[in-house]
Amino acid sequence: MVAVDNLTVSYRQHPALHHISGQFVAGALTAVMGPNGSGKSTLLKSIMGLLKPAGGQVRTDTPRARIAYLPQMTEIDRSFPLQVRDCVLLGAWGSVGVMGGISRSLQARADAAIHTVGLAGFERRAVGSLSSGQFQRVLFARLLLQDAQLILLDEPFNAMDARTTAALLDLIHQWKAEGRTVIAVLHDDAQVHAHFDQTVLLARELVAWGPTAQVLTEPNVQRARALAEAWDDTADICHNDEVLA
């Protein structure tokens, strides 16, 4: 479904990802892990097409309309005066479009999605009045309405309480049972071991990629930390044409 071929992504000509190659398993739950600043979010944005590679490429056989992307919550403006149901209905934007109307069946689907994430009765609440956990549930309900085949989640459980995390993990397992592919940036080793089949371990360059039990070994984790500490963001800009072309 998604293949990464010698991918390099740079910010101000300093690599955030450096010659990454691998293939995501279709229908699997894959965690993307690594130290802070290791390029995890950059990888998801590259798959989504939000960043232009400095080298290499990302190939996917999934149409853009069937790809869902949930960024980190800190990147989402919650101040816009929007009700929960309207926020969830934005998940149908790809199929309804600018001129399309909101049918009763679509509203029913939105309400069903809100019920699925445990927020029945919140349909007319302003999203700005919700807690972080409640708002994340709303965003997952929006993903349900989008009906994507490939789902990209950037730190979906960050600052979430245990109850919300468990509910959203149940939903992710439901997506897997439906044959959908989920790629998520995560930080909790135990959570990844318990729920995710595959893991990509990054430290700007690739440390390991494959079944979680084989990737999240102590030697690999130590190597990722060492590589992350070795990167020098104050070094001279690299002008290697092979990397930056």
- CA 137/CA 165 separation, integer angstroms: 9
User: What does the pLDDT read at residue 228?
Assistant: 86
User: What does the pLDDT read at residue 213?
Assistant: 97
- CA 43/CA 4 separation, integer angstroms: 9
Phi, psi of 205 (to 5 degrees): -105, 170
CA distances from 112 to 91, 98, 125, 231 (A): 13, 23, 16, 47
Instruction: Provide the percentage of residues in the chain whose pLDDT is more than 90.
Output: 72
Q: Could you tell me if residue 198 is inside a domain?
A: yes
Confidence of residue 80 (pLDDT cuts 50, 70, 90): confident
Q: Could you tell me if residue 3 is inside a domain?
A: yes
Total domain count, the chain = 1
Residue owning tokens 């070094």: 235
User: What does the pLDDT read at residue 240?
Assistant: 42
Structural domain of 208: 1-62+187-245
Q: Could you tell me if residue 20 is inside a domain?
A: yes
Q: Which amino acid is at 109?
A: R
Q: Which two three-digit tokens encode residue 18?
A: 């450096």
Q: Could you tell me if residue 34 is inside a domain?
A: yes
Of 234 and 215, the one with more pLDDT: 215
15-62 per-position pLDDT tens digit:
899 999 999 999 999 999 999 999 999 999 999 999 999 999 999 999
- For the chain, what is the radius of gyration of the CA atoms? 19
Q: Could you tell me if residue 122 is inside a domain?
A: no
Q: Which two three-digit tokens encode residue 212?
A: 């979680």
Q: Could you tell me if residue 238 is inside a domain?
A: yes
Of 78 and 72, the one with more pLDDT: 72
Mean pLDDT of 102-107: 82
Residue 243 has pLDDT above 80, yes or no: no
Q: Could you tell me if residue 41 is inside a domain?
A: yes
Q: Could you tell me if residue 240 is inside a domain?
A: yes
CATH number at residue 197: 3.40.50.300
Q: Give 17's strand partners.
A: 9
Mean pLDDT of 200-207: 96
Mean pLDDT of 135-161: 92
Residue 233 has pLDDT above 70, yes or no: no
Q: What is the pTM of this model?
A: 0.89
User: What does the pLDDT read at residue 103?
Assistant: 77
User: What does the pLDDT read at residue 242?
Assistant: 39
CA distances from 7 to 2, 48, 74, 95 (A): 13, 14, 26, 31
CA distances from 224 to 33, 155, 228 (A): 10, 19, 6
Residue 100 has pLDDT above 90, yes or no: no
